[in-house]
Structure 1
Amino acid sequence: MIVYEFKVKGKEKQYRAIDEAIRTSQFIQNKCLRYWMDNKNVGRYDLNKHCAVLAAEFPFASELNSMARQSAAERAWSAIARFYDNCKKKVKGKKGFPKFKKHCRSVEYKTTGFKLSNLRKAITFSDKKGIGTLKLKGTYDLNYYDIKQIKRVRLVRRADGYYAQFAIDVEIKVETQPTLEVCGLDLGLKYFIADSKGNVEPASKFYRKSEKAINSANRKKSKKFSTIKKKAKVRQSNNYHKARVRYARKHLRVSRQRKEYCKRLAYSVIQSNDLVAYEDLNVKGLVRNRHLAKSISDAGWYTFRLWLEYFGHKYGKVTVAVPPHNTSQNCSSCGEKVFKSLSTRTHVCSHCGYVADRDLNASINILKLGLSTVGHTGIYATGDLPSWAIGASLSSNGESMNVESPSL
């Protein structure tokens, strides 16, 4: 399963129709969640049937394509199923009880409700929302694939415009020549990655570099916000919304820079090695450290891991996630534990006299652990299965991890 993304061009009236379709999809998703909460033994197909009830009760819901309504119900069921799985697995802490959506950014169609043009440079939506024909702007060519291979089409609203994503059912595996190389990766803040061969990649720090401009845009946005209008439940001024979009575009640019950086670095690592071992970091827990939360979030460790697993699956390479416990403390030469603080950047073993950079020592330990666990069931960042193996359903947050750059 691959995802191709195009920017769509249309008139202002069509953009407002897309917004209305997104709001309707959010409404159906929340209604299905409420139906599950109020009734016992509700399953996935019960939620799909409830879509027809909502369409009969609310005229604006009936204007949305029937399969788009079912897709919204499937999003609700996806959150419910995740909650059930966490309860069965006895996950520590909160189990992720499904929440009502407030700010959805996408609406998803299955196999009906849209039609591509003959040249596949435009798409027409045929439901009663009035979206009409939108031009597709992008570098991908949909002519390589049969229409039946397109399993989902999603319209996404972002700060810089509207996008169309196509989920295409194709085999993504590519045969490559073995390199006979293996490496272990240590993720850090000083260096983004340090491998067991002694190579390091500096941290990108895209947010830190843009933080001054982002904070300036945020202050300008705040100055145009009226608390009086908020109390009176009146729409904010047009200048406020323009400032809000400018602020959002800066954040969007940083996130795209980070994603592209992680993507290309993961691609390079996979192409250079047959086996890659890396730390199974609990990023969600690490960002609770208020002193390092901003730097950890800016690093993009989780994004890098997702792309590493995706390219490993695509090119038939082995990716192994190992427990990170004591990988920095243990000596990679003799195995003895040498306690050191985060500020200590050089590993000096008092038992065997081995001296090395802290990150290099950790990456060698990670490689040893990875080689010792080869053959066991792998661990993916998204759960038991990688995100590209789950199915054709697209996540509702407006992002898709397997949207590759044209050159990759």
Structure 2
Amino acid sequence: YRTIKGRLAKAQRVLSRRARRAKKEHRPLRNSKNYQKQRLVVAKIHAQILDRRKNFLHNVSTTLIKNHDLVVAEELRSKNLLKNHALAMSIADVGWRTFLGMLTYKADLYGRQFVTVNPRNTTQTCHSCDFVMGTEGTDKLTLADREWTCPKCRTHHVRDHNAAQNILIKGIAKLA
């Protein structure tokens, strides 16, 4: 999507110039042919972005569901994630809620199981011994901490791999 966003920005700037020119000439925007043509160009680019995003999500969700009998995901609240301005654009681009919806209906369609779990402490918990960072005098992990070692069992963890294992463990427990 990022490549097409440059084209969108350029088209929006042209649209803005067309609006300023129409205003300068005291013409309503609905009568300005150049403005209306450019508005259609911007709308077309928006539609292309939407189509690309949907196509990507359909491909990934279909591949996941077809290749796995059980798919487990976190019940992430995208509204809360968008509050982090450093990650907001990337999270909005992915369309997490749409993706989860696709996984849900495709799991039913292909006869697979799809489970969502509570994301609480999935990155903070050691999957080996269930020790939670931030308890018993330890510091809580920040987003910058990509790797950590459990103080209880001395297992070294890569943050995302550990979280994925914890999510799978929670998903299997939810099914049992």
TM-score (norm. length: structure 1) = 0.39
Corresponding position of 1:222: 16
1:239 partner SS: helix
2:43 partner SS: helix
Tell me whether 1:309 sits opposite 2:104 in the alignment: yes
The whole-number CA distance in structure 2 between the counterparts of 1:257 and 1:299 is 11
Tell me whether 1:249 sits opposite 2:7 in the alignment: no
Corresponding position of 2:136: none
For residue 344 of structure 1, report the CA deviation from its aligned partner.
1.7
Corresponding position of 1:85: none
**CA deviations over 1:334-381 (Å, ceiling 9, x no partner):** 111232111222232222122232111111100111111116xxxxxx
**CA deviations over 1:261-314 (Å, ceiling 9, x no partner):** 111111111111111110001112322333322121012211211111111010
Matches within 5 A, 1:319-338: 319-338=114-133
Corresponding position of 1:201: none
The whole-number CA distance in structure 2 between the counterparts of 1:285 and 1:358 is 20
For residue 236 of structure 1, report the CA deviation from its aligned partner.
4.3
Corresponding position of 2:153: 352
2:115 partner SS: strand
Residues 286 and 318 (structure 1), Cα distance of their counterparts in 2 relative to 1, 3 Å cut: same
1:328 partner SS: coil
Among candidates 333, 337, 342, match of residue 143 of structure 2 = 342
For residue 256 of structure 1, report the CA deviation from its aligned partner.
1.2
* Contact 1:277/1:366, CA 8 A, preserved across alignment: yes
1:235 partner SS: helix
Q: Count how many residue pairs are aligned between Structure 1 and Structure 2.
A: 168
For residue 220 of structure 1, report the CA deviation from its aligned partner.
0.6
Determine which structure has more spread, i.e. the larger CA radius of gyration. Answer: 1
The whole-number CA distance in structure 2 between the counterparts of 1:314 and 1:212 is 37
The whole-number CA distance in structure 2 between the counterparts of 1:213 and 1:362 is 37
Corresponding position of 2:173: 372
* Contact 2:15/2:38, CA 8 A, preserved across alignment: yes
Corresponding position of 1:290: 85
Identical amino acids, percent of aligned pairs: 35
Residues 246 and 343 (structure 1), Cα distance of their counterparts in 2 relative to 1, 3 Å cut: same
2:148 partner SS: strand
For residue 232 of structure 1, report the CA deviation from its aligned partner.
7.2
Task: Supply the AA of the counterpart residue of 1:256.
Answer: D
Matches within 5 A, 1:6-405: 206=1, 208-226=2-20, 228=23, 235-338=30-133, 339-374=140-175
Residues 249 and 347 (structure 1), Cα distance of their counterparts in 2 relative to 1, 3 Å cut: farther
- Is there any run of 5+ residues in structure 2 with no aligned partner, and where? 134-139
* Contact 2:147/2:157, CA 8 A, preserved across alignment: yes
- Is there any run of 5+ residues in structure 1 with no aligned partner, and where? 1-205, 376-408
